[in-house]
């Protein structure tokens, strides 16, 4: 039976009225499991109106009272973890264990955001001048929005919702139409946790819904995660309409393997970081860069052996290392990239295109693919594949290895594996990317630090979660105050100074 999904506006499930729908597939079978409505401009404007009205009450709550709603939400979602993870897995295709990780990394930001009462404190300077005090206040922006991708349907919405709500804003979430059920469930749980109706709205939609958020003056800030072309479009359109924006795009994450590294440790790290979640992660390691031919030959042999032992299976299979891709189009796109790599002359060590899961032949599965001798001029090196494809690009020496991620147009994350502390420190200092791992394969920072890439991986001055999130979702008001003391100074036509 095909489920009919809704929007969540004003604290209620609201059927779509535009007449436009998108299909939500079960990636394991290829069958349609739900239909999601795509909002038109009037539906999105209804959500904005609800949010604007509800924010007045929510923004007037004291920060500690708002934090209690986040803490109650944490309690409720942890009780709901197993069914929520299975729901996420059924629409996305990632394994249930990986789905739980998706949810947990989002909850860690909710835990951090519950510290909002401290993070929202302003600054105070007494005696800045004779009888003059200066202090600042952090105040909510009002209505803010998030546009989030399919590959983390829990984590990334929670990264944005938590700090925005803690700061006193109302939030409109436009999730991916490919796996929208978990975001809708998150909205239900926030309402159950005591969030006033209308403070959090979930509206499914396409370009018309997005453009409404960009153009409506009631929406003060927009966060986005997705492809680089759309990130750049949203960033420029938001700026043109006077809105704040933080937009994160594509990636091509490298792992540098120095000759002194433990290659068994490296191979295991690459297998997990490259093929986990079928490679559909913006922080997936997709380029291995061994330094020196001896290192490269040994690493290629170890990776080939491990790739052959990977288990691709149904997302509910507890023994599966990874499941299907999100859609048939995604699987076809990755298959096309594999052929491009072959045509460009890369050495194909493992080809995942012939994989079929018995009993689930209609599913969107691809086996693990491994290329060696990939050069920087090839498309499979330059472009984001976003699938279970790992490439090896050999470097003659450390300086060449350092240049590869530094010169790439994307600058999301990078990792180095070495036993040499000096080399690791030099690499972390000099490499031109936003996030660095040292003997860590996927350098996603913990919740109280900030997440964000450089170059064409990130647009905007402030990153996700950590202190930057509270800076992004608040505006600073500075007050200069003096109470009359009976001294009459007369009119002054000189700009005030602290002399």
- pLDDT 10s digits, 401-443: 999 999 999 999 999 999 999 999 999 999 999 999 999 999 9
Residue 59 lies in a domain: yes
Tokens read off for 461: 């001055």
Judgement on whether residues 73 and 191 belong to the same structural domain of the protein: yes
Residue 111 lies in a domain: yes
Judgement on whether residues 241 and 363 belong to the same structural domain of the protein: no
Judgement on whether residues 316 and 344 belong to the same structural domain of the protein: yes
Residue 113 and residue 101: Cα distance in Å, rounded? 19
Mean pLDDT within 465-482: 96
Judgement on whether residues 302 and 387 belong to the same structural domain of the protein: yes
Q: What are the pLDDT digits (tens) for 237-281?
A: 999 999 999 999 999 999 999 999 999 999 999 999 999 999 999
Judgement on whether residues 427 and 320 belong to the same structural domain of the protein: yes
Tokens read off for 23: 């299909």
**pLDDT score recorded for residue 486:** 60
Q: What are the pLDDT digits (tens) for 147-205?
A: 999 999 999 999 999 999 999 999 999 999 999 999 999 999 999 999 999 999 999 99
End-to-end CA distance of the chain: 76
Provide the whole-model pTM.
Answer: 0.95
Judgement on whether residues 319 and 182 belong to the same structural domain of the protein: no
Judgement on whether residues 387 and 464 belong to the same structural domain of the protein: no
Residue 139 Cα distances to 60, 218, 379, angstroms: 10, 16, 46
Q: What are the pLDDT digits (tens) for 382-395?
A: 999 999 999 999 99
Instruction: Report the share of the chain in percent with pLDDT over 70.
Output: 99
Q: How confident is the model at residue 499 (pLDDT cuts 50, 70, 90)?
A: low
What is the number of structural domains in the chain?
2
**pLDDT score recorded for residue 101:** 97
Residue 445 lies in a domain: no
Tokens read off for 385: 């594949």
Residue 134 and residue 152: Cα distance in Å, rounded? 43
* Residue 492 predicted with pLDDT over 90: no
Query: Which uninterrupted H or E stretch holds 389?
Result: strand 389-392
Judgement on whether residues 32 and 165 belong to the same structural domain of the protein: yes
Q: How confident is the model at residue 488 (pLDDT cuts 50, 70, 90)?
A: low
Judgement on whether residues 197 and 285 belong to the same structural domain of the protein: no
Judgement on whether residues 43 and 188 belong to the same structural domain of the protein: yes
Backbone angles phi, psi at 143, to 5 degrees: -100, 125
Catalytic residue, from 87, 158, 282, 284: name it. Answer: 282
**pLDDT score recorded for residue 191:** 98
Residue 55 and residue 220: Cα distance in Å, rounded? 13
Query: In the 8-state DSSP scheme, what is residue 445?
Result: P
* Residue 360 predicted with pLDDT over 70: yes
For strands 132-140 and 474-482, give the pairing.
Answer: antiparallel
**pLDDT score recorded for residue 4:** 96
Sheet-wide strand order for 21-26? 3-4, 31-37, 21-26
Given a contact cutoff of 8 angstroms between Cβ atoms, the answer to whether 176 and 184 are in contact is no
**pLDDT score recorded for residue 129:** 86
Residue 140 and residue 131: Cα distance in Å, rounded? 30
Mean pLDDT within 332-343: 98
* Residue 349 predicted with pLDDT over 80: yes
Mean pLDDT of the chain: 96
Residue 499 lies in a domain: no
Q: What are the pLDDT digits (tens) for 41-61?
A: 999 999 999 999 999 999 999
Beta carbons within 8 Å of 49's beta carbon, 6+ residues apart: 218
Q: What are the pLDDT digits (tens) for 74-116?
A: 999 999 999 999 999 999 999 999 999 999 999 999 999 999 9
Instruction: Report the share of the chain in percent with pLDDT over 90.
Output: 95
Instruction: Tell me whether residue 282 is one of the annotated catalytic residues.
Output: yes
**pLDDT score recorded for residue 496:** 72
**pLDDT score recorded for residue 173:** 98
Residue 199 lies in a domain: yes
Domain that holds residue 408: 253-438
419: three-class secondary structure by DSSP = coil
Q: How confident is the model at residue 368 (pLDDT cuts 50, 70, 90)?
A: very high
> Bridge partners of 135?
124, 479
* Residue 498 predicted with pLDDT over 70: no
**pLDDT score recorded for residue 490:** 75
**pLDDT score recorded for residue 21:** 97
**pLDDT score recorded for residue 131:** 87
**pLDDT score recorded for residue 484:** 79
CA-CA-CA-CA torsion sign (164, 146, 183, 28): negative
């Amino acid at each position: 039976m095909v489920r009919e999904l809704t929007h969540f506006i004003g604290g209620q499930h609201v059927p779509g009225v535009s007449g436009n729908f998108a299909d939500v597939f079960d990636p394991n079978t290829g069958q349609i499991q739900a239909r999601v409505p795509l909002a038109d401009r009037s539906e999105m404007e209804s959500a904005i109106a609800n949010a604007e009205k509800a924010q007045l009450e929510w923004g007037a709550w004291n920060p500690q009272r708002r934090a209690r709603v986040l803490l109650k939400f944490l309690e409720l979602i942890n009780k709901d973890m197993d069914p929520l993870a299975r729901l996420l897995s059924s629409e996305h295709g990632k394994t249930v264990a990986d789905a739980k990780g998706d949810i947990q990394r989002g909850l860690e930001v909710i835990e951090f955001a519950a510290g909002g009462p401290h993070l929202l404190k302003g600054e105070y300077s007494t005696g800045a001048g004779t009888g003059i005090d200066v202090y600042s206040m952090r105040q909510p922006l009002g209505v803010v929005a998030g546009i989030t991708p399919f590959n983390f349907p829990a984590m990334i919405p929670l990264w944005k919702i938590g700090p925005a709500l803690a700061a006193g804003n109302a939030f409109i979430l436009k999730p991916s139409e490919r796996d929208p059920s978990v975001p809708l469930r998150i909205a239900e749980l926030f309402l159950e946790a005591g969030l006033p109706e209308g403070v959090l709205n979930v509206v499914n939609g396409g370009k018309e819904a997005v453009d409404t958020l960009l153009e409506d003056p009631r929406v003060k800030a927009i966060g986005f995660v997705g492809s680089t072309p759309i990130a750049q479009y949203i960033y420029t359109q938001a700026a043109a309409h006077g809105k704040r924006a933080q937009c994160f795009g594509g990636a091509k994450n490298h792992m540098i393997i120095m000759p002194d590294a433990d290659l068994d440790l490296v191979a295991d790290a690459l297998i997990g970081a490259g093929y986990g979640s079928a490679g559909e992660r913006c922080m997936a390691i997709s380029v291995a860069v061994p330094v020196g031919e001896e290192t490269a030959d040994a690493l290629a042999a170890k990776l080939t052996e491990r790739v052959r032992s990977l288990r691709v299976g149904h997302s509910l299979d507890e023994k599966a290392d990874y499941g299907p891709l999100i859609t048939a189009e995604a699987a076809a796109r990755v298959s096309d990239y594999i052929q491009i790599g072959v045509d460009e002359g890369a050495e194909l060590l493992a080809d995942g295109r012939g994989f079929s899961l018995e009993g689930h032949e209609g599913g969107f599965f691809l086996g693990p693919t491994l290329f060696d001798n990939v050069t920087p001029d090839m498309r499979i090196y330059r472009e984001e594949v976003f699938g279970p494809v790992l490439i090896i690009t050999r470097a003659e020496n450390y300086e060449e290895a350092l240049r590869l991620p530094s010169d790439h147009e994307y600058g999301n994350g990078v990792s180095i594996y070495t036993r040499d502390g000096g080399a690791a420190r030099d690499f972390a200092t000099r490499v031109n990317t936003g996030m660095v791992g040292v003997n860590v394969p996927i350098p996603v920072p913990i919740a109280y630090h900030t997440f964000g890439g450089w170059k064409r991986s990130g647009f905007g001055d402030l990153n996700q979660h950590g202190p930057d999130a509270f800076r992004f979702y608040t505006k600073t008001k500075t007050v200069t105050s003096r109470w009359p003391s009976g001294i009459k100074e007369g009119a002054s036509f000189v700009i005030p100074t602290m002399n």
